[in-house]
A and B are shown apart, each in its own frame.
Chain A
Amino acid sequence: MNRAIVLGGGFAGVLAAAVLARHADDVILIETDRYPPGPRPRRGLPQSHHNHVLVTGGARALQALLPGTLEALYARGAHRRGLSGGALILAAQGWFRRIDTEAYLVACSRGLLDQVVRERALGGGAVSVWEGAQALGLVGDATRVTGVRAGRVGGPARTFQADLVVDATGRRSKAPRWLAELGAPDVEEAGVTSGLAYSTRVYQAPPELAGGVPAIMIHPGPAQGRPAQGATLFPIEDDRWVVTLTGTRGGEPPADEQGFTRFARCLRHPIVADLMAAATPLGGVRPYRDTANRRRFYERARLPAGFLATGDAVVAVNPVHSHGMSVAALGALRLDRELTRRGFDPSLTPDLQAAVAAEAETSWRMAVRQDGGHAGGADERREASAFERRIRTRLARAALSSPELAADLFHAQTLIQAEARTDTSSRSRALRGEPDPLLSSPEAIAQFPGLHAWWLSRSIPPVTPVRVPVGGEIPRR
């Protein structure tokens, strides 16, 4: 009889527990919070007030782990939006044309996502769930973890034996300290600040737009040296929208109602502010500031057997990438495959840890490169030259209208394709040919007839078209 204990019943912990239940005799999930009865945010998950979309790679992994989950989410009101076919996106270089790629995102509240996943992952009863219980430390020595110390929140701690302990307590995991208390070596950590702040508010959509809007993303402009400010609006269940405003240091979005509205209005295009003005706010504005990229390199340390970490406890990236849950799902799927191949053997945890870390690698590299940090590997980061910036700008501009380049971009962003690009002829055309004309703002909005009709019907005069100039000519050699 073998036993696995999972610490933390968030997205990663619930999926890890569901996987372990297929390979171990007894699985216990210890979660500090009490799960809410409905699809609502909860205290142990402060980020659940903010937008949470599942990207393609994560959606596919979730479906592979728990078949039927996506259908259940759609049945409960989640929306699937193609990238860029179902999304109105103002990127740094201009508006995207609607292009169908394999990439998409699933938008609903984090509360709904968690509830549906919990029902499907834990509903069978194979996992014993201890809500309102807190993990307080590990038991064992420097060679072997043999259990955990845990107790009711505020109550006395007891020891529970386990063959495998999985830490899924999220960004603020205390596992490195708990391991050190057993005499295990330090776990190398890397942190790259993003400087990004979030402010989020949920709205009831006006009836004429309920369910019908595309995902909307207003990215920061190309201006260097100024704070990067942007916004997203995602349709979620019950005809609601979740609006998140983002800003880097010096340009943080306010958390008061008037400031929130003003910030949205001053972005490169006011479409999000216009939609907010037509909708009914549900509750106040919620700020979130802890957005740094953080990684614990468990796979590099000689850790005691019988210990494994997953989810944000291992790699937590700047939420602007919308990767965390998808990486957790990919990690759980990989764990399932490794356990199926090798069997439930706690002495294999170093290999399992390396496999889980590998699933997070693409997301980590993407996030830290964007936030100007080191990925923690052998390759040192260098500043992009003016030439490099011009080439990238030109390619980014071409991706606005090129099906091949857009697919490359969105496939990488949604974790279904490594960053290596496949199509070279479109890149060649992008660098040597004349760029396609940019869409004006009215043209971009007109790609979505329902939204366009509503936008034209408002009494407010239309705004000046945005055509973002791109700097620098590329040599035609």
Chain B
Amino acid sequence: MSLRINDSVVWQETAEGVSLYDIDTGAFTTLNATAARIWMLIDSDGEREPIVSKLSQEFAGGNTAVSRRIRADVQDFLGTMIERKLVEEHPA
């Protein structure tokens, strides 16, 4: 399954994180630094596994409990973004 930022989203990296504008709904969203990092990985890597493993490398330092939490947080975040139609997931 591949992840893709929806065409209806205009976004920009800012000092605080990432700012999004959804053309379809007219809603603005601001992502904090952690969410923004996931967002950038969706843009560059476009798949769940590489996103989780890159974040684990960056933040877990081999600690499996932290890795598990990162995986859960990423899944949660992606779930919300897909539900809000800001991100699309397609068969690869």
Main secondary structure of the interface of B (DSSP, over half): strand
The smallest C-beta distance from A272 to any residue of chain B, in angstroms, reads: 33
- Interface assignment of B23: CB less than 8 Å from any CB of chain A: yes
A228 CB to nearest B CB, Å: 23
Of B5, B8, B14, B26, chain A has the most CB atoms within 10 Å of the CB of: B26
- Measured in the bound complex, the distance between the Cα atoms of B14 and A147 in whole Å is 61
Asked if residues A388 and B28 are in contact (CB atoms below 8 Å), the reply is yes
A474→B10 CA distance, assembly (Å) = 9
Q: Is B30 an interface residue (CB 8 A)?
A: yes
Q: Which of A77-85, A122-130, A420-428 contacts B (4 or more CB under 8 A)?
A: A420-428
Tell me, in angstroms, the Cα distance from A387 to B12 when the chains sit together: 8
Contact string, B9-37, partner A, CB cutoff 8 A, digits 1/0? 11110100001010110101010000000
Map CB proximity to B onto A432-443 as digits: 1 under 8 Å, 0 otherwise: 100000000000
Task: Considering the complex, give the chain A residue whose CB is closest to the CB of B19.
Answer: A387
Separation of A449 and B26 alpha carbons in the complex (Å)? 37
Report chain A residues within 8 Å CB of B19: 385, 387-388
Is the interface on chain B under 10, 10 to 19, 20 to 34, or 35 or more residues? Answer: 10 to 19
| CB of A451 within 8 Å of the partner chain | no
Interface size class of A (residues with CB under 8 A): 10 to 19
A424 to B10, CA, bound (A): 12
- Distance, CA A471 to CA B28, complexed state (A): 19
Residues of B within 8 A of A424 (CB): 8, 23-24
How far is B23's CA from A391's CA once the two chains are assembled, in angstroms?
10
A386 CA / B12 CA spacing, docked (Å): 11
Q: Nearest-CB distance from A115 to chain B (Å)?
A: 41
Q: Evaluate contact between A387 and B23: CB separation under 8 angstroms.
A: no
For A426, the closest partner residue in chain B by CB is: B23
Q: With a CB–CB cut-off of 8 A, which chain B residues contact A387? A: 12, 14, 19, 21, 28
User: How many angstroms between the C-alpha atoms of A477 and B7 in the bound complex?
Assistant: 8
A431 with B28, Cβ < 8 A, contacts A387-B21, A391-B21 known:
no
CA distance A387 to B10 in the complex (A): 10
Residues A431 and B10 in contact in the complex (CB < 8 Å), given A385-B19, A424-B23, A424-B24 = yes
Q: Closest chain A residue to B25 by CB distance?
A: A420
Partner of A420, one of B9, B23, B26: B26
B28 touches A477 (CB 8 A): no
Once the chains are docked, how many angstroms separate the CA of A427 from the CA of B23? 6
Point out the residues of chain B lying under 8 angstroms from A420, CB to CB.
26
B23 contacts A431, C-beta separation under 8 Å: yes
Instruction: Determine the residue in chain B with the shortest Cβ distance to A427.
Output: B23
Tell me whether A475 and B30 are in contact in the complex, defined as CB-CB below 8 angstroms, given that A391-B21, A424-B23, A427-B23 are known contacts. Answer: no
A387 to B5, CA, bound (A): 18
Whether A391 lies near B10 (C-beta < 8 A) is yes
- Residue of chain B at shortest CB distance from A475: B12
A residues 452-477 in Cβ contact with B at 8 Å: 474-475, 477
Interchain CA distance A45-B51 in the complex, whole Å: 65
Q: For residues 309 through 323 of chain A, which have their beta carbon under 8 Å from a beta carbon of chain B? A: none
Q: Which chain B positions have C-beta within 8 A of A428?
A: 7-8, 23
Bound complex: CA A428 to CA B21 (Å): 11
Cβ-neighbour of B30 out of A385, A421, A427, A432 (below 8 A) = A385
Kindly state the separation between the CA atoms of A427 and B9 in the bound complex, as whole angstroms: 11
Contacts of A385 in B (CB 8 A): 14, 19, 28, 30
C-alpha gap A256/B40 in the complex (Å):
59
Set of chain B residues within 8 Å of A432, measured between Cβ atoms: 10
Distance (Å) between the CB of A62 and the closest chain B CB?
Answer: 30
**Cβ of B26 and Cβ of A475 under 8 Å apart?**
no
Please give me the residue from chain A that is nearest to B26 by CB atom.
A421
The answer to whether A475 touches B14, judged by C-beta atoms less than 8 angstroms apart, is no
Bound form: Cα–Cα A387–B11 in Å: 9
Chain B residues within an 8 Å CB radius of A391: 10, 21, 28
If A387-B19, A388-B19, A424-B23 touch, whether A475 touches B10 (CB-CB below 8 Å) is yes
Which B residues are in CB contact (< 8 Å) with A474? 10
Return chain A residues, CB-CB under 8 Å to B23. 424, 427-428, 431
Min CB–CB distance A365 → chain B (angstroms) = 14
Roughly how many angstroms separate A387 CA and B16 CA in the complex, as a whole number? 11
Q: 17 interchain pairs (CB within 8 A)? A: A385-B28, A387-B14, A387-B19, A387-B21, A387-B28, A391-B10, A427-B23, A427-B26, A431-B10, A474-B10, A475-B10, A475-B12, A477-B5, A477-B9, A477-B10, A477-B11, A477-B12
